[in-house]
Structure 1
Amino acid sequence: MAFEVSYSLENEQQFWDELDDIVSTRCQEHEQIDNSLRSYLNVTTNYKAEYLQTDYSVAKCVVRLLQGELFNNHQEYVRRQIIYCLLQQEDDNPTLHMVAAILLYDGRNGNDVTFEMMQTEGVFPRLVELIQTPSIQEDTRLHQMLLELMYESSRIQRLSWDDLMSVDDDCILYLLEVIEGVSDDADDPYHYPVIRVLLVLNEQYLVAQTTQHSNGRAGVTNRVIKALSTHGNAYKTFGCNLILLLNRETETSLQLLILKVLYLLFGNRPTAEYFYTNDLHVLIDVILRNLIDLPSDSPAANALRHTYLRVLHPILANSQISKPPHYKREEVLRLLHLLVTSGNHFAPVDETTCRLVKRCTDVQWLQPPASDSNHKNVVGNGQKELARRTLGMSVQAGGESATSVLEIATHMEKPGVQTPSRGKDVVP
């Protein structure tokens, strides 16, 4: 299949015209498709420095392919060939950039089959390898593209055991170091792909562990929590960004990813005080505000409310807020009381909310002074052991029950679904 095309284009219009000719090619045989794909990659990589200098221009170039006859008449074959190119391409950054962009934009376009095919062909370990390759790390745009591809392809499906085993401690520490090394600008776009990869890896570990424990098998170690347990003081920026994202994020699936990390951090003894006290206070404010903002008559809001409450309990019980001077004690109590007394006019507050609120109000420092001596926070030995094994770490006696661990792990939402809000009008 040796096939080379030499291009000599004099201006940008000729570049786009040539691209349109390639993507509209009608092919009958696989060899013709392969030649057309090579032509596409040749012209885009040869002129990338001249005409594809921005993310917008790369996206425009990819859309040309995805909307052309070449792709639409042979979607499965083209996808597979692009995946093979990603797996086999060694040191050609421009080509890697284009094939990663094709897979990313095709998958984001609602074609989960692309990400499923990547999973079947074993792309995840390859992505883990690529993001740690020095020559790729120096190419920030390519590195960011690969991180986004890793995140998007991992959040819609379960990773395999081999996928999880391809991520070692050094990989996690590298990602945390990237976050520490980027600019202090919270709007730096390089923050989010790295953070989101860590968030989705944490969820994959959590789901894998709970599933394996329910089947009586030993679970994998959550390397994200392990890294923060042993090196948390060196990687505080990750925690600061979690709070910033939770404060800003309106997509339910991303809020859940953040809450799952927080749940494990505050339920794990070595990381229960990972956050700076001032940042912890901001986190409390964000959680209280978001709980107030969730409407009471929405099933989706109820599910998210339950997750916030499951996270709030280990924060109240295990973090430095449990020590005097207690931050916003009265405001916390007032909010918890409001959650079980407001409801809506036609239905009482659901039982799960009542139970989770009671768990929070049972935290010792929220009790009236007279009852302090009688307060006990007891978790069954079986529940504590399951929680300890699920985290892969030590868990304090005041940790959440095994039921909360399982429900936190399995609570998910489709990408793109926005979080319900009292402050948003519902447009029919």
Structure 2
Amino acid sequence: MAFEVSYNLENEQQFWDELDDIVSTRCQEHEIIDNSLRAYLNVTTSYKTEYLQTDYNVAKCVYRLLHGHLFKEHQEYVRRQIVYCLLQEDDNPTLHMVAAFLLYDGRNDENDTIFEMMQAEGVFPRLVDLIRTPSVQEDTRLHQMLLELMYESSRIQRLSWEDLMSVDDDFILFLLEIIEGVSDDADDPYHYPVIRVLLVLNEQYLVASTSQYTNGHSGITNRVIKAIATHGTTYKTFGCNLILLLNRETETSLQLLILKALYLLFGSTTTAEYFYTNDLYVLVDVILRNLIDLPSDSPAANALRHTYLRVLHPILANSQISKPPHYKREEILRLLHLLITSGTHFAPVDETTCRLVKRCTDVQWLQPSASDSNTLPIVNGRTVSILSPTTKGPGHSIGNGQKELARRTLGMSVNEGGESSTSVLEVATHTEKPGVQTPSRGKEMTQ
């Protein structure tokens, strides 16, 4: 069946019947496979406006191919031809169907075969070019599909140095502009894919900052943090939406992406006060609630708890909350106390949690005061203090380790070692498979 065949389908049922005939093709020759794939793209793009007006029908169309004999018998070849098509085609309807195939195939494949193939063939720079192409931007559904494909294919594998170099400052500002300009509603379907691309790029930069590339390249600039540092007052909506998403998200991997962005933002002096103060209060409430909600006897919960605590420290030390009136000081102290006294006889609190709690309580404004006897927990008739006996004077400022982290996030040279680099490495290496849900005390109680 040649690509040039013209179709005259009179109704939607004929369209799906024709599609079924194409994906059921049985053959061994590459030429016939190519013709069948061309026919598939021809019929889907020719009738896209009539029968593929919704994302559901596009997905239905893709899954017809994924479940058909043509794909099942020649998976590697079909995948490679589709990848080549993405690299070479400029027609929007064709790009839409090709991107949809790659996205749904990737989500459906536990082995991430198609995403690894895309990486090997250098698809990422092509996605960057397509996403910033004006004609693609005008097709909102295609643009969103490409953003989702970039996110899904980038969060399961490390990008190469060449991939990261294809992202410049203008591309990051372009994405921030979309978030700022579409609407103020975080439920806007256009917001979510753009935010997730920025989050996954930030993680890629964070991972890259912890080690040199084998080909000798190093010192990659984290362009996401740089954009916020230089244009943060213009692009506030991104920060607001991070807090809203963290408040709602139940998938552990996405929570971690958000936390890693927050860690870098609050760890740098140039971005520590990026968030509005009222939004910052909401963020503290969300972190306190999520820390309380994590069960104490789950390894997965412990790992996530550690990340929350690592993020909480720079918030307490560097953000507006470090200045009077010190939002929820007593509540924070009570929670930190609870975290190191909530173990059981059989499962004591782990050393990492104790270390991270102490780091938080070493923050100057959380040091003991005369009024703490009325606010801290009482055990056996006396006040329980979990604070370090060593206090810092009122002139205490952000230390050298945090200044080094600020330089790191902007892509400058970094000296290995020290508390700052250790913390960055701990945060960067904490990952979770997509789809895994965050452990919750509340969920356990309802089961």
Does the CA contact (< 8 Å) of 1:236 and 1:275 recur in 2?
yes
Q: TM-score with structure 1 length normalisation?
A: 0.94
Structure with the bigger percentage of helix: 1
In the TM superposition, residue 219 of structure 1 has moved relative to its aligned partner by 1.8
In the TM superposition, residue 400 of structure 1 has moved relative to its aligned partner by 6.1
Residue 424 of structure 1: aligned partner? 443
In the TM superposition, residue 285 of structure 1 has moved relative to its aligned partner by 0.1
Farther-moved stretch of structure 1 (340-349 vs 299-308): 340-349
Q: Equivalences for 1:66-81 in 2 at 5 Å?
A: 66-81=66-81
Gap regions ≥5 residues in structure 1:
none
Q: Equivalences for 1:67-146 in 2 at 5 Å?
A: 67-90=67-90, 92-110=91-109, 111-146=111-146
Does the CA contact (< 8 Å) of 1:213 and 1:219 recur in 2?
no
In the TM superposition, residue 211 of structure 1 has moved relative to its aligned partner by 1.4
Does the CA contact (< 8 Å) of 2:150 and 2:197 recur in 1?
yes
CA distance in 2, matches of 1:229, 1:287: 23
In the TM superposition, residue 401 of structure 1 has moved relative to its aligned partner by 2.6
CA distance in 2, matches of 1:427, 1:87: 49
Relative distance call for 1:378 and 1:172 in structure 2 (3 A) is closer
Question: 2:444 corresponds to which letter in structure 1?
Answer: D
In the TM superposition, residue 215 of structure 1 has moved relative to its aligned partner by 11
Q: Find out whether 1:54 has 2:54 as its counterpart.
A: yes
Q: Find out whether 1:357 has 2:357 as its counterpart.
A: yes
CA distance in 2, matches of 1:249, 1:333: 26
CA distance in 1, matches of 2:122, 2:22: 29
Q: Percent same amino acid among aligned pairs?
A: 83
CA distance in 1, matches of 2:97, 2:215: 41
In the TM superposition, residue 216 of structure 1 has moved relative to its aligned partner by 9.1
What's the CA shift string for 1:349-400, capped at 9, x where partnerless?
A: 000000000000010000113799942679985x5575345323699xxx96
Does the CA contact (< 8 Å) of 2:51 and 2:57 recur in 1?
yes
Q: TM-score with structure 2 length normalisation?
A: 0.90
Residue 390 of structure 1: aligned partner? 408
In the TM superposition, residue 28 of structure 1 has moved relative to its aligned partner by 1.4
SS of the residue corresponding to residue 438 of structure 2 reads coil
Residue 404 of structure 1: aligned partner? 423
SS of the residue corresponding to residue 344 of structure 1 reads coil
CA distance in 1, matches of 2:95, 2:216: 41
Farther-moved stretch of structure 1 (341-350 vs 55-64): 341-350
Does the CA contact (< 8 Å) of 2:205 and 2:220 recur in 1?
yes
Does the CA contact (< 8 Å) of 2:66 and 2:72 recur in 1?
yes
Relative distance call for 1:213 and 1:108 in structure 2 (3 A) is closer
Residue 16 of structure 1: aligned partner? 16
Residue 375 of structure 1: aligned partner? 392
Aligned residues: 423
Q: Find out whether 1:314 has 2:314 as its counterpart.
A: yes
Question: 2:62 corresponds to which letter in structure 1?
Answer: V
What's the CA shift string for 1:222-247, capped at 9, x where partnerless?
A: 00000000000000000000001000
In the TM superposition, residue 299 of structure 1 has moved relative to its aligned partner by 0.5
Question: 2:99 corresponds to which letter in structure 1?
Answer: A
Relative distance call for 1:390 and 1:16 in structure 2 (3 A) is same
Question: 2:405 corresponds to which letter in structure 1?
Answer: A
SS of the residue corresponding to residue 313 of structure 2 reads helix
SS of the residue corresponding to residue 145 of structure 1 reads helix
